[in-house]
Amino acid sequence: MKVHEYQAKEILRRYGVPTPRGIVVDNPEDARAAAKELGGRVVVKAQIHAGGRGKGGGVKLAKSADEAADLTKHMLGMTLVTHQTGPEGRLVRKVLIEEALNIDKELYLGITLDRRIGMPVVMASKQGGMEIEEVAERDPKAIHREPIDAVLGAQPFQARAVANALGLEGDAYKKCVDFMQKLMRCYIETDASLAEINPLLVTKEGNVLALDCKMNFDDNALFRHKDIVEMRDLHEEDPLEVEASSFNLNYIKLDGNVGCMVNGAGLAMATMDIVKLAGGEPANFLDVGGGASAEQVKNAFRIILSDKNVKAILINIFGGIMRGDRIAEGVVSASREVGLPVPVVVRLEGTNVDLGKQILKDSGLPLITADGMWDAAQKVVAAAKGQA
Amino acid sequence: MAIWADKNTRVIVQGITGREGTFHAIQCRDYGTQVVGGVTPGKGGTTHEGFAVFNSVREAREKAAANCSLIFVPPPFAADAVMEAADAGMELIICITEGIPVNDMVKAHDYLRKSNARRVAAGETPSRLIGPNCPGIITPGEAKIGIMPGHIHRPGPIGIVSRSGTLTYEAVGQTREIGQSTAVGIGGDPLPGTNFIDCLEAFEADPKTEAIIMIGEIGGSAEEEAAAFVKANVKKPVVAFIAGQTAPPGRRMGHAGAIISGGKGTAAEKMAALQAAGIHVVKAPSEMGAKVREVWGK
């Protein structure tokens, strides 16, 4: 799960991680008041779930409270396009008004899971403001990596190693050591999957603060973080995906016209792949889960058909323990109830698959049966092109 | 014996009185697996569907001589169940549970490493964890320890290892006439207990396995590491498919571990690495069976 910058900073502050003072607002008058409270010279930052806001015009300096109000008025309601939003962009609904600070250095500090070693790893680089992937590509040696024992936490020597790698001295050095240890505690205790401070700011006064912060959280651990769940912003998600998640369907919308309904995540990805190989474009990823019950198939039909680009649907179910005839009955009853405006190709595998195919044929519905994934993919791509 | 699971494996089910645990304990027993009981804390001493129920895994090992545990415990408690199984000396721990927090698994792995070091020092067999978020392991005709449909499998020479459940079934279905030595689902989580390399090493050493199908997907670098291992250590032919060639970056494709992040973990990168290691990479998931027939026994 993702949160906004202002929410991530709220979480950081709970762990004593220093951030600039800031107030989130959704109208120009509140922005003016916030700027006054923060001393007039502020930064106005659009709050969307995507990086690259600065280049897209979503981060601006205001020299006065009036200017902060003007900038806020302009920014709210604008569709911000960055390299991470895609061409459709994101609507700005809130802005963060933050005190402007005297920048000495901009550094990078991030924590994420290193899957190879099964430990969280702190990454530090002097090249703040640049994306870490870009640094890794151009100059991998410029990134200091410090794997952390998740049970013992970050040891003081590791925090010092990070501060050393960032080339800090004196007061800033000490503050960075403290910053990193607190950030690590925050990362572990909130079940974060990413905590990225970019840039990590060193002020001319020698203070160390999180100037920007991106945090993602492990969806599997949200059951023990009700406070973080409350921060979910549904505006930032595709409405169809939100609806699908309420049915426990794993749905991701794509740009093509072949709807896919599959059981199992791997098979669902493989189905998208084979649709593409057959000359089509998948309209979605959708995992109906192991059971593929009539109820779930019905919900899945509704979600897929809400996407008006869909010209044909491929149902690919490897029955496993569930019998093919039962799945076929489910598909038929769901199809009757939903009504099928587009051709549907069904590929069933598992026990009683022949019985299942017969049920599909006898239903009188526009269901096209297929043998194997390649046959299914070719048939659905032809159907989507109107050649069924 | 194929790998890791055979007719002598004595299985208990942790979470046996739950709906999933009950259903699959019966399915495994019906297949012929030696399911010697189950564990549900607080229900020890009772019998459930003909299975003896124990209060702890230790008790199950002492009283039923179990050496393998199959876990259906809900996500918040599953990592604890894994550690309990390791503590009780289970040689094989298969965790089916999907949705375990990553931090819980980091701790469970840490516990397993330490517990295994103690066991090895004492001259005992260390624990192997398979999963979590996996279908389990099956040695056709001998033991099915997991949720896969047993009837689609046939004993034979093809070893299968996969991050995806239903894609494993797909590979099994496509090798129906030849048959499988063992099929292992290593699971879709970012931190699997058993990885590709463990399975490839075991298949290479197993006299019953003559060719291998490995099924990877986007996310992480396990396939690239497996490619390097195959190049240096595996003589048997390996066929590979990578799911997610059309997956958009930055999105988690169902499995917690299936995500392209920062432009890394793409299917294209993995396919290139596998190909460079001499592995027979197929683009279409429907070609796994045909390709393995082509390269098997050559």
Full 3-state SS string of chain A: CECCHHHHHHHHHHCCCCCCCEEEECCHHHHHHHHHHCCCCEEEEECCCCCCCCCCCCEEEECCHHHHHHHHHHHCCCEECCCCCCCCCEECCCEEEEECCCEEEEEEEEEEEECCCCEEEEEEECCCCCCHHHHHHHCHHHEEEEECCCCCCCCHHHHHHHHHHCCCCHHHHHHHHHHHHHHHHHHHHCCEEEEEEEEEEEECCCCEEECCEEEEECHHHHHHCHHHHCCCCHHHCCHHHHHHHHCCCEEEECCCCEEEEECCHHHHHHHHHHHHHCCCCECEEEECCCCCCHHHHHHHHHHHHHCCCCCEEEEEEECCCCCHHHHHHHHHHHHHHHCCCCCEEEEEECCCHHHHHHHHHHCCCCEEEECHHHHHHHHHHHHHCCCC
pLDDT(A293) > 80: no
Q: Report CA-CA distances (Å) from A21 to A72, A98, A109, B42, B225.
A: 17, 6, 20, 52, 45
Q: What is the pTM of this model?
A: 0.94
Cβ <8 Å between B103 and A191: yes
Given A220, A349, A350, which is nearest B75 (Cβ)? A220
Q: Which residues contact A92 (CB under 8 A, 6 or more apart)?
A: A46, A47, A48, A58, A75, A76, A77, A78, A79, A80
The stretch A168-186 carries a mean pLDDT of 96
Position A325 confidence tier, pLDDT thresholds 50, 70, 90: confident
What's the mean pLDDT in A333-354? 89
pLDDT, tens digit, for every residue of A62-105? 999 999 999 999 999 999 998 888 888 999 999 999 999 999 99
For chain B, 298 residues long, give each residue's pLDDT as a single digit of tens: 589 999 999 999 999 999 999 999 999 999 999 999 999 999 999 999 999 999 999 999 999 999 999 999 999 999 999 999 999 999 999 999 999 999 999 999 999 999 999 999 999 999 999 999 999 999 999 999 999 999 999 999 999 999 999 999 999 999 999 999 999 999 999 999 999 999 999 999 999 999 999 999 999 999 999 999 999 999 999 999 999 999 999 899 989 899 988 888 999 999 999 999 999 999 999 999 999 999 997 6
Residue that has been written with the tokens 């790698």 in this structure: A165
A132 touches B at CB < 8 Å:
yes
Backbone angles phi, psi at B94, to 5 degrees: -115, 115
Say which residues have a Cβ less than 8 Å from residue B76's Cβ, sequence separation at least 6: A223, A224
pLDDT for position A131: 85
* Identity of the residue in A84, A254, A277 whose CB atom sits nearest the CB atom of B284: A277
Q: Is B9 helix (H, G, I), strand (E, B) or coil?
A: coil
Partner B contacted by A30 (CB < 8 A): no
Do the beta carbons of residue A31 and residue A95 sit within 8 Å?
Answer: yes
Interval A186-199 mean pLDDT? 96
Contact A250 B188 (CB under 8 A): no
B127 backbone dihedrals φ, ψ, rounded to 5°: -85, 140
* Three-class secondary structure of residue B142 per DSSP: coil
Give the per-residue pLDDT at A291: 65
**Mean residue pLDDT across chain A:** 93
Query: Given an 8 Å threshold on Cβ–Cβ distance, is B162 in contact with A116?
Result: no
pLDDT mean over A39-44: 95
The number of beta carbons lying within 10 Å of the beta carbon of residue A186 is 21
- Residue A292 pLDDT class (50, 70, 90 cuts): low
Of A191, A263, A274, the CB nearest to B285: A274
Helix B196-205, helix B222-233: angle, nearest 10? 20
Cβ B25 vs Cβ B66: under 8 Å: no
Q: How many helices (H) and strands (E) does chain B have?
A: 9, 14
Of A37, A35, A84, the closest CA to residue A60 belongs to A35
Q: Cβ–Cβ of B262/A136 closer than 8 Å? A: yes
Q: A388 falls in which pLDDT band (50, 70, 90)?
A: low
| Distance (Å, whole) CA B142 – CA B154 | 10
- B173 CB neighbours in chain A (<8 A) are 318, 349
pLDDT of residue A349: 87
Compute the C-alpha angle A131/A137/A142, nearest 5°: 75
Go through chain A and tell me how many residues it has. 388
To the nearest whole Å, the CA of B194 is away from the closest chain A CA by 12
Residue B280 annotated in active site = no
Catalytic residues of A: 108, 196
